[in-house]
Amino acid sequence: MKKLGYGYCSSSKATIVFFFFIHVASILVTQYTEAFDPLIQLPRTTFTKTRTRTRPRSRRLISLLDFSAIGDGIHNDTQPFLEAWKTACSLPGFVNVDIPYGKTFLIHPVDIDGHCRSKITLRILGTIVAPKDPAMWYGLNQRKWLYFHGLNHLTVEGGGSINGMGHEWWAKSCKTNSTIPCHPAPTALTFHKCKNLKVNNLTLLNSQQMHLAFTSCMRVVASHLRVLAPPSSPNTDGIHISICKGVEVRDTIIRTGDDCISIVRNSSRVWIRNITCGPGHGISIGSLGKSNVWEKVQDIYVNGVHLFNTDNGVRIKTWQGGAGFASKITFQNILMENVSNPIIIDQYYCDSQKPCENQTSAVKVEGISFIDVQGTSATKEAIKFACSDSSPCEGLYLENISIVSASCSRGNVSSYCWQAYGSTRGFVYPPSCLLSNDNFIKQRVWLGSNHATNSI
């Protein structure tokens, strides 16, 4: 075990670190304002003389009010919503389904099957709210509220809001009251087995549990979202990505009671950029390997995140006894303010009321990079790599790291390593405790190819 730290708070070196941090922060601000090439290359319209003479495609418009919806937030508008969707689904071409501005529609749990003739844009201009009483889910799947599956070329947008009304669910959670048994709670908005999906310009509020989940999806772009819930709300992850390939999440603000973004179970080619996160539990890979299962997460690129007052910064968490791997993951251009556990890999994760048994097998963690990470830590250990005895972390890479204590009265920050192998470059504070390995060249080759190819 290695644990290292410097006494910057009590020495003149604090001034050097402070101005170094300010310098790098200014660079980050510049980088945040630059345009990024999109991860998923969407079709671009080429305006030519021939194209200007082409008649534009007609788009049909369907409103919930056309199907006798009330929109007062009190009367149940589930049936008008389903009828509007069924009508849109049966039409050829492009169809808008409008949730009108200035109206609030009470929608009970719905299961939307995606075998449609049309390419639908669901425009949420007003507000959708869930039933307040959990009893409304009696006899139904308690993990779902708005559930869309099997859709191709769906767009959900409009500038409106989706409110899960989750307060009664939170009060009945075992995370809130440990004396009651644990029960599932709904994810507000779920997309399952969808392709070519866009979710843009929406506000998601107070979900019963997770706010937005993508499961078994391909080619997804989620952008310009606001995801908001109280810090005390249990398990209210902002965006959850599971068994997905080709996902971009960008230009989004997330403030919840759990992970801002969580990436789990056989997901790959995910790009996260320009995210504001806090409060919450940070950006998480995992947890992976629970109940001795085999899982993988790879080709993840997180670039441009501002974290403040979060319980964790950027982390990878795995259970003992699992199998598979987490690899080719880069966290870059991360700015932190008063963040607990800023950089963490934990292969002994145990989110259980009972102690977890020691097991030898583990999810392999390798090829993980932390580049240009700056800010302040609310805990003593700013960098923690707690890796498996039987399957150590390999190919870890630190470059241009400057994390100091959020308050000198709390003491100096340090780094902690157990079975962690890797290399560093540039200024690294707190100083690295990594054991050297032979994977440095391989790691840098992967980083170069990752930056060169930013499209799916």
Is 72 strand, coil or helix? strand
Non-local (6+) Cβ contacts of 53 within 8 A are none
149 belongs to the catalytic site: no
Is 145 strand, coil or helix? strand
CB 396 within 8 A of CB 434: yes
- Chain centre to alpha carbon of residue 49: 43
Non-local (6+) Cβ contacts of 224 within 8 A are 200, 201, 251, 252
Q: In degrees rounded to 5, what are phi and psi of residue 347?
A: -90, 10
Amino acid identity of 97? V
Amino acid identity of 284? S
Alpha-carbon distance 17 to 22, whole Å? 9
- DSSP assignment letter at 8: G
CB 242 within 8 A of CB 264: yes
CB 310 within 8 A of CB 374: no
> Which residue among the candidates 149, 192, 240, 281 is catalytic per the annotation?
281
The CA–CA distances, whole Å, from 79 to 151, 186, 192, 238, 301 equal: 20, 20, 22, 28, 41
- DSSP assignment letter at 407: -
CB 62 within 8 A of CB 84: yes
- Give catalytic residue positions: 281
